């Protein structure tokens, strides 16, 4: 009977692919966006990101999205809203509630409601975040709270993954990561071809960054912990770098098998978002992804939070120091390190390359002995 009245067309079958969850972390550092005011203002960048979000939601009616702002003094949710529902101007059904404000714009009835809900909440929460930022907050912190934003994204992804597994009986993130890694803690080599990839919620994180790595060096430890958690849960971290260098974000994209792109021209943000970051994990199996071979694997020291090329490493806890710690004791585990006061990191000498031999003979000619004339 279901075939006759086409009821099964509206039922989600067991063979249907699971939706995709896209969590976008937007770097809203006012100092960094002020430097990009001439090429790409923040308002135009948000408009391009909203178009990208609409494209993601249009790919599958069950797709989900979440937006987190990495601000100068805190990390805040832009969508969905997690604060007091009495302060919201939209209810759970998406209908706009007029709270007596004369300047509240009328809802756009001709727009697809999921698009309208995301656009209204993102723009409203971003405006409230910017209005709450004071001059003291800008003078006190020049960096962005990337670690807090990644933590919020991970917690939301884990919550939605577990909820999807309970509702539809699919494999959760822990089981998928264990199967993909062979039950161990190693990195999965075929993470896009796992048998249970299509049975669970497809989750990924996109970071739109404008701050430099030196500004976020003091968050090195929590950022790396978030990267390792994403690697364990098989959640790729895609990075769209608009300005500045990003040492840690390059490592995040490389470790989680994500896509890293540094835009030479920020005005083409929407084109890069649609062409490079729109495909999910299933689509990426059939695409040639842009890879980066010159990944910067430098780390930040635990003492001064500076990015170093060469430093001291504790043999017990692997803590990194740019100079010998005071008293020769590790600042993390307290182990006494046998380092002199004026010691410098040892550099391994380069091995001399052997000259190639041509036809069994070395490149340098062998001196020939001159025959001695006889008597």
Report the pLDDT value the prediction gives residue 371, as an integer from 0 to 100: 57
User: How confident is residue 7, by pLDDT bands cut at 50, 70 and 90?
Assistant: low
Is the model's pLDDT at 8 over the cut of 60?
A: no
pLDDT of residue 192: 38
Rounded percentage of the chain residues whose pLDDT exceeds 70:
68
For the segment 340-353, the average pLDDT, to the nearest whole number, is 58
Q: What is the pLDDT of residue 327?
A: 79
pLDDT at 344: 59
Q: Look at residue 91 in the predicted model and tell me its pLDDT.
A: 43
- 88: pLDDT confidence band, cut at 50, 70 and 90? very low
User: Among 329, 324, 320, which Cα is nearest to 302's?
Assistant: 320
CB 121 within 8 A of CB 81: yes
Which residue, 373, 355, 353, is CA-closest to 365?
A: 355
Average pLDDT over residues 34-63: 94
Query: So what's the pLDDT on residue 85?
Result: 47
Range in 59-63, 96-100, 114-118, 357-361 with the lowest mean pLDDT: 96-100
Q: What's the average model confidence in pLDDT over 345-357? A: 61
Most confident of 214-218, 242-246, 277-281: 277-281
> In Å, how far from its chain's centre is CA 311?
26
Report the chain's mean pLDDT, rounded to a whole number.
77
Query: Quick one: pLDDT at residue 24?
Result: 97
Q: Cα 363–365–371 angle (5° rounding)?
A: 165
What CATH number labels 20-85+112-133+142-167+200-285?
A: 3.40.50.410
Instruction: Report pLDDT for 11.
Output: 56
Residue range 159-176: mean pLDDT, rounded: 74
pLDDT of residue 189: 39
354 pLDDT above the threshold of 80: no
Contacts of 37 (CB under 8 A, 6+ apart): none
- 113-167 pLDDT tens trace: 999 999 999 999 999 999 998 888 788 777 889 999 999 999 999 999 999 888 8
The pLDDT assigned to 230 comes to: 95
Q: State pLDDT tens for residues 312-339.
A: 888 777 778 888 887 778 877 888 877 7
Picking from 81, 219, 206, the residue whose alpha carbon sits closest to that of residue 153 is: 206
- How much is the pLDDT for 219? 80
Average pLDDT of the segment spanning 195-221 = 77
Q: How far is CA 31 from CA 140, 207, 240, 244, 263, in A?
A: 12, 18, 18, 12, 19
Residues 6+ apart with CB under 8 A from 160: 21, 64, 201, 203
Domain ranges of the chain: 20-85+112-133+142-167+200-285, 298-345
Q: Which residues contact 22 (CB under 8 A, 6 or more apart)?
A: 53, 56, 63, 64, 65, 66, 204, 206, 280
pTM here is: 0.72
Which DSSP string do the residues of 178-191 spell out, in sequence order? HHHTTTSSSPPSSG
Distance of alpha carbon 322 from alpha carbon 330, whole angstroms:
12
Q: Does residue 232 contact residue 185 with C-beta atoms inside 8 Å?
A: yes
- Kindly indicate the confidence band of residue 14, based on its pLDDT and cuts at 50, 70 and 90: very low
pLDDT, residue 191, reads 39
């Amino acid at each position: 009977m279901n075939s006759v009245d086409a009821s099964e067309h509206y039922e989600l079958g067991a063979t249907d692919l699971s939706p995709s969850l896209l969590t976008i972390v937007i770097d809203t550092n006012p100092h960094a966006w002020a430097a990009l005011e001439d090429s790409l203002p923040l308002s135009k960048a948000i408009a391009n990101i909203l178009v990208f979000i609409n494209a993601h939601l249009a790919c599958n009616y069950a797709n989900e999205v979440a937006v987190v702002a990495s601000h100068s003094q805190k990390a805040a949710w832009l969508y969905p809203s997690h604060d007091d529902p009495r302060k919201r101007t939209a209810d759970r059904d998406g209908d706009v509630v007029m709270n007596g404000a004369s300047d509240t714009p009328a809802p756009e009835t001709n727009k697809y409601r999921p698009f309208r809900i995301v656009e209204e909440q993102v723009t409203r929460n971003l405006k409230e975040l910017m209005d709450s930022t004071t001059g003291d907050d800008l003078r006190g912190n020049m960096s962005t709270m990337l670690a807090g934003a990644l933590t919020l994204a991970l917690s939301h992804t884990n919550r939605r993954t577990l909820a999807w597994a309970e509702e539809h009986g699919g494999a959760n993130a822990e089981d998928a990561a264990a199967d993909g890694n062979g039950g161990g803690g190693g990195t999965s080599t075929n993470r896009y071809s796992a048998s249970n990839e299509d049975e669970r919620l497809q989750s990924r994180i996109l970071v739109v960054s404008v701050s430099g790595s030196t500004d976020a060096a003091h968050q090195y430890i929590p950022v790396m912990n978030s990267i390792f958690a994403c690697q364990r849960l098989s959640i790729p971290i895609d990075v769209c770098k608009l300005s500045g260098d990003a040492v840690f974000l390059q490592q995040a994209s490389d470790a989680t098998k994500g896509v890293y792109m540094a835009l030479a021209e920020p005005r083409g943000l929407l084109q890069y978002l649609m062409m490079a970051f729109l495909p999910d994990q299933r689509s990426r199996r059939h695409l040639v992804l842009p890879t980066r071979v010159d990944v910067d694997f430098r780390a930040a020291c635990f003492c001064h939070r500076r990015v170093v090329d060469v430093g001291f490493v504790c043999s017990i806890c692997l803590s990194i120091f740019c100079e010998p710690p005071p008293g020769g004791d590790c600042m993390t585990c307290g182990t006494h390190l046998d380092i002199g006061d004026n010691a410098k990191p040892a550099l391994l000498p380069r091995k001399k390359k052997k000259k190639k031999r041509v036809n069994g003979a070395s490149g340098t000619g062998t001196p020939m002995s001159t025959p001695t004339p006889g008597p």
